[in-house]
Structure 1
Amino acid sequence: MSGGVDSSMCAHILHSQGYEVTGLYMHNWNHDEETQDELETPTNASTTLQLNTPYLTESTPDTTTLLTPTDHGYKPMPRTAPIRPKACTSDRDWADVQSVCSQIGIPARRLDFSRQYWNQVFQVMLQEYERGRTPNPDVSCNREIKFGELVEWCRRNGGLGKDRGGAGGWDYLATGHYARVERDPETGIARLLRAKDSNKDQTYYLSTLSEKVLRHVLFPLAQYDKPTVKRMALAFASSSSSSSSTNSEQDEELTSLQYAALKKESMGICFVGQRKRFGDFLKEYLDPLPGPVKINGLGGEVIGMHKGLFQYTVGQASGVTHRHNKWVVLRTDLPSNTLVVVDGTQNDRLFSPGLIAEDWHWIAGAPPKKLVQRLSTATTTPTATNGQDEQDDEYPFTAQIRHRQVPQPCTIEPISEAEAEQSATGTAAVTMAMTAAAAVEDISSARLFRVRFKDHQRAIAPGQILVLYDRDECLGGAVIRSSLLRPEYAHEHDIPSLQP
């Protein structure tokens, strides 16, 4: 529970349905440790719990260093920032959670995962920016913390699902996400589906969860839209107030759910706080290295100096003043520390026919049968069809490269490392049939996939998350490695550098 209306109503709905509910508040950002020069190592490396208290905290492993992939050449290093105003509202949010839980009539506990968040989400995010990429920490937080560390904590402290022991533990972990989970009545296998409210659907952020975790997850808000959830919260608060005693303190307490409904919705990343620009926050951890700004490519005219590549991402306004043009970021070239810009937000060079994605995560643990079957028959001539059926056959899936994007029809195929480089540089064109015939037997272990869209997509940025769907079902997600070069620009040699 966060203190907001979604998680508050999630708890209320389940409690009203007869579940025994415990509200868990996760403290994921420690301002005090953020501003220290070093992070102290716990004297006892083992996990310790303070039990039988309303405020439950968990010690976490040492975070003075972060273990990172050695093939990327990174060295473990501490991250610090100067003393500055507190960004998170953790204490206030925890107070709101306690107040809401008191109104509903359920216990509240506070868990401290700030060290895990620092190690597994925050530092990884900084390293991605150092690589010239645009990461999504919200996706990482869901995978590593909310449905990672929290699930493990549940399992260690009484069990979760079938593993729960005796009277302890829990049957399910529930959150206020707008998403659906459907379970096969015979096998129990879970599928992740879009929520009823397409505007609030959050399956994009849940795309790297596993089916094994989803078996034990409930999303009570799946059937509601946001306005309805707020109305329900206000209605419950009003009915509670009218039936309460005349004691003023009790009446004030019973308005906590109403406050959650009227509370301004939390947007963005908590540790950034009220800063106007995310780049200003990153400068507290990463050293900006100025470099040239060039038009169209590395051989283009120099029109200014950038303030550090990590502050720019594909498709955004560059802030460069030159003539009366609106210069937009096309890409960042890390080896030469160059920012490449183009004229206009709808410049042709900003649009790409597809992308290369890496480190694929399939929710079911393996590629969908629909994809495997399609690849196995890719070399055969399809039966002629008309209308929507023909389009569905050519582009059997949809994908999103950002939250709330309209789902885009696409096709997907596994490729080798060599083919990925050729596709990104425009030096070769490999048809789906040629690739699929060789790769179908090894699709389960394929690390790289090429995704082609029915329509060209604007501003595909390395490091973003691509999420694949089959109608309403979320199949999984991957990290975008590079966009595909358009044929008309294949003759250009200063193509985007593939980051290590």
Structure 2
Amino acid sequence: MSSSRQVIAVAMSGGVDSTIAAYLLRKQGHEVVGIFMKNWDITEETGICKTDEDMQDFIKSCNHLGIPHKEVNFVQDYWHHVFSPFVNGYKQGITPNPDITCNRMIKFNKLRQYCSENLGVDNLATGHYAQLVTDSKPKLIQAVDEAKDQTYFLANVKKISLKNIMFPIGNLLKSEVKNLALKIGLRKIATKKESMGVCFIGKRNFKTFISEYIENQEYDVNTIDGQNFGKHSNLSLSTIGERARIGGMSERWYVVSKDSNRKVITLAPGINHPALYCRIFYVADANWISYCAEMQLSLRKELECHIRIRHLAPLVPCLIKLQYNGFLEVNSQQSLFAVTPGQFAAFYSRNECLGGGQIVSSHTMVSKI
């Protein structure tokens, strides 16, 4: 980062991470403005989402830091680009990740554009635990605090959208961030319970929430060996690897496949059944942050790297093969549990996040389901 004074917008949530990101930039002498994004209209949801409380914490934090603050409304954009695809995905029987979509479509797209066009800022900063090297071409690097690293959620952000982006706390441990908040007199923010999960769900049970938008449908429930458990509607929102709870079943069964067109769900007994694991799966709509990785795959049609299919899951060595239709065939060196269509696979080389894409299908360790 240049040592000259810059005008920087900081996306702030009312939490400790984004607050300390703003504090660090202010301390470095930059002109900082706090931005609070309103993505969900709580008036439609009886106030379950904590947006009002977070907004007040945001304002108090900005006043404490001595920086101006502004709220921007992306409710319609969020509904169109994040929530609607999320609901449609579940209707199609896949399991999308709205946090990854929000980063790509809203925070590092709509917000970045808004700040550039309306606030005249030089950079946009966030409180993500990640690091960014932007000498000539962007490199997304894992955070120093491995337990808090958020590069998985950033792997689908377009490389051009990472231009003029800053992650001020990426080189700090979470404990250091909290200690800084205490040191500057922001005890409430430092001790505030960390926000987990998706805002539009709030404290509600996920299936209770999603059933408000998707009607439960009856599925034929079969076992991996052909036994039929009849029709059930309580499993229509289930996902791969989830335990199937059906009354009267003496052993534990888990979802291994879900066909939303035929309305058929297949179960396997026990968490260790080979039908729940795979080494080969396919990824579509790959997003490459790394120019080098993208070029190598384009030229050689293969790329050796590491894969992560869930936030903070262990990195597993793999070989990626470019298919004629543009899909990527991912060959993992280790068996992976519950590789789920709709979820996101992120690619890594050492501590660099190369990019990623949406999982579309997999080959389980059972030849036929």
2:180 is aligned to 232
Q: Does 1:460 align with 2:339?
A: yes
Checking the alignment, whether the CA contact within 8 Å between 2:219 and 2:236 is kept in structure 1 is no
Q: Which runs of 5+ in 2 are unaligned?
A: 1-11
CA positional deviation for 1:396: 2.7
CA positional deviation for 1:316: 1.2
Q: How does 1:261-410 map to 2 (within 5 A)?
A: 261-275=190-204, 277-296=205-224, 300-307=226-233, 310-364=236-290, 367-372=293-298, 374-375=300-301, 396-410=304-318
Measure, in 2, the Cα distance between the counterparts of 1:368 and 1:335. 35
Measure, in 2, the Cα distance between the counterparts of 1:129 and 1:323. 26
Q: How does 1:83-122 map to 2 (within 5 A)?
A: 85-122=46-83
Q: Structure 1 305/366 Cα, relative in aligned 2: closer, same or farther at 3 Å?
A: farther
2:132 is aligned to 181
Checking the alignment, whether the CA contact within 8 Å between 1:304 and 1:320 is kept in structure 2 is no
Q: Which runs of 5+ in 1 are unaligned?
A: 35-83, 159-168, 238-256, 379-394, 418-446, 496-500
Measure, in 1, the Cα distance between the counterparts of 2:248 and 2:294. 49
1:58 is aligned to none
CA positional deviation for 1:373: 5.5
Measure, in 2, the Cα distance between the counterparts of 1:370 and 1:415. 14
Measure, in 2, the Cα distance between the counterparts of 1:267 and 1:280. 18
Measure, in 2, the Cα distance between the counterparts of 1:310 and 1:144. 28
Query: Structure 2 length normalisation: TM-score?
Result: 0.93
2:121 is aligned to 170
Checking the alignment, whether the CA contact within 8 Å between 1:132 and 1:309 is kept in structure 2 is no
Measure, in 1, the Cα distance between the counterparts of 2:230 and 2:29. 64
Measure, in 2, the Cα distance between the counterparts of 1:127 and 1:369. 33
CA positional deviation for 1:264: 0.4
1:8 is aligned to 19
CA positional deviation for 1:291: 2.0
Measure, in 1, the Cα distance between the counterparts of 2:339 and 2:102. 22
1:204 is aligned to 152
Q: Structure 1 149/92 Cα, relative in aligned 2: closer, same or farther at 3 Å?
A: same
1:451 is aligned to 330
CA positional deviation for 1:416: 3.0
Q: Deviation per CA, 1:318-361, whole angstroms, max 9, x where unpaired?
A: 11234421011111111221221110111111010120111111
- Partner of 2:18, secondary structure, is helix
Checking the alignment, whether the CA contact within 8 Å between 2:283 and 2:327 is kept in structure 1 is yes
Q: Percent identity?
A: 36
CA positional deviation for 1:366: 7.7
Runs of 4 or more consecutive aligned structure 1 residues displaced over 6 Å after TM superposition: none
Checking the alignment, whether the CA contact within 8 Å between 2:344 and 2:359 is kept in structure 1 is yes
Q: Does 1:480 align with 2:356?
A: no
- Partner of 1:208, secondary structure, is coil
Measure, in 1, the Cα distance between the counterparts of 2:284 and 2:292. 15
Measure, in 1, the Cα distance between the counterparts of 2:143 and 2:236. 34
RMSD of aligned alpha carbons: 1.7
Q: Deviation per CA, 1:450-484, whole angstroms, max 9, x where unpaired?
A: 00000111100100001111111111110100012
Query: Structure 1 length normalisation: TM-score?
Result: 0.69
2:323 is aligned to 415
Q: Structure 1 310/468 Cα, relative in aligned 2: closer, same or farther at 3 Å?
A: farther
1:150 is aligned to 111
Q: Deviation per CA, 1:256-286, whole angstroms, max 9, x where unpaired?
A: x2111100000001111111x2111110001
Checking the alignment, whether the CA contact within 8 Å between 2:42 and 2:51 is kept in structure 1 is no
Measure, in 2, the Cα distance between the counterparts of 1:91 and 1:126. 25
Q: Deviation per CA, 1:8-37, whole angstroms, max 9, x where unpaired?
A: 1111111011111000000000133x4xxx
CA positional deviation for 1:364: 4.2
Checking the alignment, whether the CA contact within 8 Å between 1:173 and 1:216 is kept in structure 2 is yes
CA positional deviation for 1:90: 1.4
Q: Deviation per CA, 1:226-274, whole angstroms, max 9, x where unpaired?
A: 111111111121xxxxxxxxxxxxxxxxxxx211110000000111111
Letter in 2 for 1:222: G
Letter in 1 for 2:109: G
Checking the alignment, whether the CA contact within 8 Å between 1:295 and 1:342 is kept in structure 2 is yes
Structure number with the higher strand fraction is 2
Q: Deviation per CA, 1:393-439, whole angstroms, max 9, x where unpaired?
A: xx83001111010001000011135xxxxxxxxxxxxxxxxxxxxxx
Pick the structure with greater CA Rg.
1
How many residue pairs end up in the alignment?
A: 358
Q: Deviation per CA, 1:123-143, whole angstroms, max 9, x where unpaired?
A: 010000011001000000001
Checking the alignment, whether the CA contact within 8 Å between 2:139 and 2:352 is kept in structure 1 is yes
Measure, in 2, the Cα distance between the counterparts of 1:205 and 1:175. 13
Letter in 1 for 2:212: E
Letter in 2 for 1:471: R
Checking the alignment, whether the CA contact within 8 Å between 1:303 and 1:322 is kept in structure 2 is no
Measure, in 2, the Cα distance between the counterparts of 1:484 and 1:301. 22
Measure, in 2, the Cα distance between the counterparts of 1:331 and 1:267. 28
